[in-house]
């Protein structure tokens, strides 16, 4: 059944971003496909990235790893950033998942279950997950990857980036033979000495810029479009939507569009949101409601069934996120299951 709102995913653009990041860093890209591939669909995205040469993937949760293993088959290496929760070792092993261990109790849980290939996370300043460098364990059988995560990779001038990098380089020396992975998307753009043995980008694969704004080096991947359900002429003095969120000083033509917050079109798009319609960027009017939003199409030739782009190649993801007061990551991962994902190339 056709749907009036669709998230269209350009797998060719995903592939181009993958190769662009490899060319830029000179390091293999180990894609991060957590949160269902940032909302775009992990099975389809990872399958395409595998076809482009990716052999190692990162997810956040064990369950995401299980689903990815089912989709990709036995070949690729899959790391679980959460690590190994109490009692989870057997499940991880059954799906051949490698936990990224982040504290002593996880090491114990993993080794008591027989151990095997795993990663280690060193916390170089984010204070989120991982061993402080001074507490980093002696190496042990199975450590195949050592990693750390940047707190401010989207701010190239932030001095913390290099401090973290140097702490990581020193700590990683304790794990000879382990793959060293440090850079997320932003980190890929910080220079060659941030790349180490493998990079770990997410958002830039999916079309977000490394500094939270549109960047020509990254191709747009996801397009959220929705159909016009009705077009109406609103006379001066009337209002549009809940709470009279928009009041017409002059007559306006309004398109009611099939995307609302139940689709992931954040309510915080009001009042700065915009959409691309009939070749122009036009403001959203009033409140976003559950199933629809209103777009100003005054003077435009717009009819029922026409498509409006909420973000995509013409209304860029980072700009849409900024208008909603958030970041591209949250915009993408907020798109709900009601919106079918359609894959194009
Ligand atoms: C999410 C995540 C990444 C990917 O980050 P991006 O900014 O999307 O490139 C890399 N490493 C870790 C530990 C993460 O949690």
| Per-residue pLDDT at 2 | 73
Contact 269, 256 (CB under 8 A): no
> Architecture of domain 11-194 in CATH?
Alpha-Beta Barrel (3.20)
Mean pLDDT computed over 140-165: 97
Nearest to 68 by CA among 94, 42, 90, 48: 42
Instruction: Specify the residue with its C-alpha closest to ligand 1, atom 6.
Output: 202
Q: Is the pLDDT of residue 167 over 80?
A: yes
Q: What is the pLDDT of residues 200-236, one digit of tens each?
A: 999 999 999 999 999 999 999 999 999 999 999 999 9
Tell me whether strands 118-121 and 143-147 are parallel, antiparallel or unpaired: parallel
First to last CA, the chain: 21
Catalytic hit among 34, 38, 269, 329: 34
- Which residue in the block uniquely carries the two structure tokens 């190496």? 139
Q: Where would I find the beta strands (DSSP E) of the chain?
A: 5-10, 56-59, 77-80, 97-101, 118-121, 143-147, 179-181, 222-234, 239-240, 246-247, 252-257, 274-277, 280-283, 293-296, 307-311, 341-344
Nearest to 232 by CA among 306, 284, 295, 309: 295
∠ Cα 45 47 51 (to 5°): 115
- Which residue in the block uniquely carries the two structure tokens 């907020």? 334
* 30 close to ligand 1 (CB < 6 Angstrom): no
CATH superfamily of 222-344: Lyase, Ornithine Decarboxylase; Chain A, domain 1 (2.40.37.10)
- 147 known member of a binding site: no
Q: What is the pLDDT of residues 63-116, one digit of tens each?
A: 999 999 999 999 999 999 999 998 899 999 999 999 999 999 999 999 999 999
∠ Cα 345 265 310 (to 5°): 50
For residue 3, name the pLDDT band (cuts at 50, 70, 90): confident
- 128 known member of a binding site: yes
Q: What's the CA dihedral at 76, 203, 22, 44 to 10 degrees? A: 40
Mean pLDDT computed over 236-244: 96
Contact 339, 308 (CB under 8 A): no
Phi (first) and psi of residue 267, to 5 degrees: -65, -25
Q: Is the pLDDT of residue 128 over 90?
A: yes
* 332 close to ligand 1 (CB < 6 Angstrom): no
CA distance 88 to 274: 45
Mean pLDDT computed over 275-281: 98
User: According to CATH, where is 3.20.20.10 located in the chain?
Assistant: 11-194
| Per-residue pLDDT at 220 | 98
Chain mean pLDDT for the chain? 97
| Per-residue pLDDT at 270 | 87
Contact 10, 223 (CB under 8 A): yes
Ligand 1 centroid – CA 77 distance (Å): 17
Tell me whether strands 77-80 and 56-59 are parallel, antiparallel or unpaired: parallel
Question: pTM, whole model, 2 decimals?
Answer: 0.97
Distances from the Cα of 155 to the Cαs of 158, 220, 243, 297, in angstroms? 6, 21, 39, 37
| Per-residue pLDDT at 1 | 72
Ligand 1 centroid – CA 152 distance (Å): 12
User: According to CATH, where is 2.40.37.10 located in the chain?
Assistant: 222-344
Ligand 1 centroid – CA 190 distance (Å): 15
């Amino acid at each position: 059944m056709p749907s009036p709102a669709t998230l269209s995913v350009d797998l060719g653009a995903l592939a181009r971003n993958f190769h662009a990041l490899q060319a830029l860093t000179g390091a293999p890209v180990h894609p991060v496909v957590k949160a269902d591939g940032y909302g775009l669909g992990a099975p389809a995205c990872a399958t395409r990235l595998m076809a482009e040469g990716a052999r190692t993937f990162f997810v956040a949760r064990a369950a995401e790893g299980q689903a990815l293993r089912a989709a990709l088959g036995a070949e690729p290496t899959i790391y679980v950033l959460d690590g190994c929760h109490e009692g989870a070792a057997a499940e991880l092993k059954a799906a051949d998942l490698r936990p990224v261990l982040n504290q002593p109790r996880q090491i114990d849980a993993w080794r008591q279950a027989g151990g095997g290939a795993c990663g280690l996370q060193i916390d170089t300043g984010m204070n989120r997950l991982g061993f402080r460098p001074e507490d980093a364990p002696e190496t042990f059988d199975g450590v195949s990857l050592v990693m750390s995560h940047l707190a401010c990779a989207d701010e190239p001038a932030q001095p913390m980036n290099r401090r973290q990098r140097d702490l990581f380089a020193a700590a990683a020396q304790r794990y000879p033979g382990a793959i060293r992975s440090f850079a997320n998307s932003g980190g890929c753009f910080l220079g060659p000495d941030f790349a180490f043995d493998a990079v770990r980008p997410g958002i830039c694969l999916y079309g977000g810029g490394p500094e939270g704004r549109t960047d020509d080096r990254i191709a747009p991947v996801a397009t959220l479009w929705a159909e016009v359900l009705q077009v109406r002429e609103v006379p001066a003095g009337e209002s549009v939507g809940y709470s009279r969120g928009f009041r017409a000083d002059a007559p306006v033509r309004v398109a009611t569009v099939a995307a609302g917050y139940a689709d992931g079109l954040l309510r915080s798009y009001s009042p700065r949101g915009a959409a691309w319609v009939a070749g122009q960027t036009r403001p959203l009017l009033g409140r976003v409601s559950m199933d629809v939003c209103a777009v100003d199409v005054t003077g435009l030739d717009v009819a029922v069934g026409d498509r409006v782009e909420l973000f995509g190649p013409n209304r860029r993801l980072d700009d849409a996120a900024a208008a909603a007061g958030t970041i591209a990551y949250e915009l993408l991962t907020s798109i709900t299951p009601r919106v079918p994902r359609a894959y194009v190339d």
